[in-house]
């Protein structure tokens, strides 16, 4: 029997995600409302954009823009900053 989908709420509900087990391992599918957010990683992450445009700045890096199908990697135990002017959907793979 399957359990429920896990649901995560961040930043007063402006970022929310749903847990999923994929063929690439654990992941979350999420939506961000317009804003600027900082995320801290505990594991290596691959963020792939599903809808919208997300600007992201990795620790020590510069701001880059990602659209549907684009992805970026984030090292474990680091942080990254993101900004969006409209809603963004993403899938984040944890390795």
Residues 47-76 that bind a second copy (CB under 8 A): 50-52
29 near a second copy (CB under 8 A): yes
25 near a second copy (CB under 8 A): no
Look at the chain and count its residues.
Answer: 95
45 near a second copy (CB under 8 A): no
27 near a second copy (CB under 8 A): yes
Nearer to a second copy, 58 or 89 (CB): 89
DSSP assignment letter at 75: -
Q: Which region among 3-11, 38-46, 54-62, 70-78 touches a second copy (by CB under 8 A)?
A: 3-11
Half-sphere exposure of 5 (CA within 13 A, CB side): 11
Q: Cα separation of 56 and 64, whole Å?
A: 6
Structure tokens at 54: 């997300």
Q: Cα separation of 19 and 5, whole Å?
A: 6
| Footprint of a second copy (CB under 8 A) | 2-5, 7, 9, 12-23, 27, 29-35, 50-52, 86-89, 91
């Amino acid at each position: 029997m399957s359990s429920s989908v896990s649901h995560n709420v961040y930043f007063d509900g402006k970022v929310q995600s749903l847990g999923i087990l994929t063929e690439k391992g654990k992941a979350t599918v999420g939506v961000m409302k317009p804003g600027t957010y900082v995320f801290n990683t505990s594991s290596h992450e691959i963020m792939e954009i599903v809808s919208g445009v997300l600007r992201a700045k990795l620790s020590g890096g510069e701001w880059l823009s990602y659209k549907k199908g684009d992805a970026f990697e984030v090292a474990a135990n680091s942080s990254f900053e993101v900004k969006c002017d409209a809603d963004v959907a993403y899938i984040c793979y944890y390795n």
